């Protein structure tokens, strides 16, 4: 599931897709306990509002891609969000749109997002592996006031290895 947020003019180009279906989404605010609060039934719109302090309006969807308009976006860009709120910013390419059509352009965007998302996930996994500190079992006896979880794990691993050897 992807979400695309852009300005009104670019959204009109996306609406030209033969697969576009109008879906105006949910109302942005609801009345709760006598006051108006943001509607949290549309999780993406609610998260976007909390992150950027602006309201987006659902316009429709193309397959499992939801399209929203943000009236404060004035540049010719659109932003693609994954379900875990990963953000991918694209400049709108009118030349590719004219040459290939909106459906192939969207296919190109989806492919690019998938490749970049996989690269980010791989980079984060490598970063986590690099950051993993190794424990020092000797710290338990040498400096008991400065023992961390990794030191304790290393001590228990060594103790169990000695016990079963």
**Residue 132: per-residue pLDDT:** 63
Output the pTM of the full model: 0.73
**Phi-psi domain of 53 (left: phi exceeds 0; alpha: psi -120 through 50; beta: other):** left
Query: Which tokens go with 32?
Result: 């709760």
Same domain, 54 and 115: yes
**Residue 100: per-residue pLDDT:** 95
Same domain, 125 and 144: no
pLDDT band at 101 (very low <50, low <70, confident <90, very high): very high
Helices (H), the chain: 8-14, 43-52, 94-100, 102-131, 139-142, 149-163
Same domain, 81 and 17: yes
Do β-strands 57-62 and 65-69 pair in parallel, antiparallel, or remain unpaired? antiparallel
Same domain, 8 and 47: yes
**Residue 117: per-residue pLDDT:** 95
- The number of folded domains in the chain is 2
State in Å, rounded, how far the first CA of the chain is from the last one: 51
Task: Choose between 77 and 150: higher pLDDT.
Answer: 77
Same domain, 62 and 82: yes
Same domain, 125 and 151: no
| Lowest-confidence segment of 37-41, 45-49, 78-82 by average pLDDT | 37-41
Give the structural domain span for 145.
133-163
Average pLDDT over residues 3-13: 96
Average pLDDT over residues 83-106: 95
Same domain, 111 and 157: no
Tell me: the pLDDT tens digits for 102-143?
Answer: 999 999 999 999 999 999 999 988 887 776 667 787 888 888
Same domain, 99 and 37: yes
């Amino acid at each position: 599931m992807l979400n695309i947020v852009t300005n009104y003019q670019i959204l009109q180009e996306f609406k030209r897709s033969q697969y576009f279906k109008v879906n105006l989404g949910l109302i942005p605010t609801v009345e709760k306990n006598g006051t108006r609060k943001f509607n949290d039934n549309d999780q993406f719109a609610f998260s976007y509002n909390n992150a950027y302090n602006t309201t987006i309006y659902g316009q429709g969807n193309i397959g499992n891609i939801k399209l929203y308009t943000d009236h404060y976006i004035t540049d010719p860009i659109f932003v693609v969000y994954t379900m875990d709120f990963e953000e991918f910013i694209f400049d709108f390419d009118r030349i590719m749109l004219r040459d290939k059509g909106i459906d192939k352009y969207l296919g190109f965007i989806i492919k690019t997002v998938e490749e970049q998302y996989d690269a980010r996930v791989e980079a984060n996994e490598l970063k986590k592996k690099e950051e993993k500190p190794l424990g020092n079992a000797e710290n338990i006896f040498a400096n008991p006031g400065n023992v961390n979880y990794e030191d304790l794990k290393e001590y228990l691993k060594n103790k169990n290895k000695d016990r079963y050897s």
